[in-house]
Amino acid sequence: MNVSPTGRVVTLTANPSLDRTLALPGPLERGAVARLGASSTEPGGKGVNVARAVAAAGGDVVSVLPAADDDPIVHALHHLGLRLATVPVTVPVRTNYTLTEPDGTTTKLNEPGAPLDDVARTALTAALHEHAAGARWVVLSGSLPAGTPVDWYAQLVAALRDTGARIAVDTSEAPLLALLAAGPASAPDLLKPNTEELAQLAGVAEEDLLGDRDATLAAVRILHDRGVAEVLLTLGGDGALLSTDAGGLWAALPPAITVRSTVGAGDSSLAGYLLADLAGAPPAERLRTAVAYGSAAASMPGSAVPTPDQVDGSAVRVSTEAPSEARSAPPGTVTHSTAPANPSTPVPAPAAGRGLR
């Protein structure tokens, strides 16, 4: 898939990790001994994953994170050629473990990460602001370390407004709730929830959204009412939705793939969206690229990120509503559809709501 990004992306990963992927020979059995297959260790954390995917496409990206100069994650990212802005901390970066089963089922074991003190947070804020000046996008992504104020992302969005960069956020639980509770000044330009996170924001059970398009779109409208300009809702094996505050609505179905690991697939989706935006693509193509990138990542082992030649946007089906019709027509009314050029035989895909995170 050809993308020609123009403009810089800056990512913040407040809680980076070394992602250790362990391949199980069969289903995980509690209390049993498993003889592992191939394993891998990759630099990770959601913002780092976005930066890796953008860099793999030839994009200009700076990754801001807390880590000592001699930390293994710094060596790994330098080896990949990523440009870093690091704030030294004394505790080594955490390790996250992913157990993958042959059918693509993954079990995550995440360490909490080292707390960030006021000095480290102030330095990260300054580094982020410095590199955001003149950038096209800033990405605030992932969990926050223990002890970090839950409204830190909300503070950062407001503080970054004077840089002129657009701001994307992908987080969950308390930081996500605090972000939307802080008011329009802290609302990001782009929010990328899955259905579990959308349900948290709407104050409903996830089961109330799954399979109910009207309820899902009503929850998305709540985010627009709170000031979010664009919502990229990832739906795992069911694809994704893109909604804008101008009333635009697009849906995309992913190609049929064999799932190997869903770890980092949502981060690749976000990277694909940003790459398409940097290339000047319209909303439908931004969504197409996001789903194509997420699907490509889910078909790869561990937390690997795809390169453009591993991404097939023509296999993604996008359905579009015109902005005026999106406001007046019943949710789900499709006025235009582009079918995949290369349909294939369906194979297992991630469960809706979590698979592309």
Catalytic residue numbers read 267
CA separation for the pair 76, 79 (Å, rounded): 5
DSSP string, 195-222: HHHHHHHHTS-HHHHTT-HHHHHHHHHH
Q: Counting Cβ atoms within 10 Å, is residue 92 exposed (0-12), middle (13-18) or buried (19+)?
A: middle
At 343, list the tokens: 């349909």
Q: How far apart are CA 82 and CA 236, in angstroms?
A: 28
Q: Which long-range contacts (CB under 8 A, 24 or more apart) does 240-243 make?
A: 240/269, 240/287, 240/290, 240/291, 240/294, 240/356, 241/216, 241/287, 242/283, 242/284, 242/286, 242/287, 242/290, 243/217, 243/326
Using DSSP, state whether 343 is helix, strand or coil. coil
Q: The dihedral of CA 286, 271, 310, 254: what is its sign?
A: negative
CA distance 286 to 308: 14
List CB contacts of 180: < 8 A, sequence separation 6 or more: 187, 201, 223, 226, 228
The SS3 assignment for 143 reads coil
Say which residues have a Cβ less than 8 Å from residue 94's Cβ, sequence separation at least 6.
Answer: 15, 16, 17, 18, 110, 111, 112, 113, 114
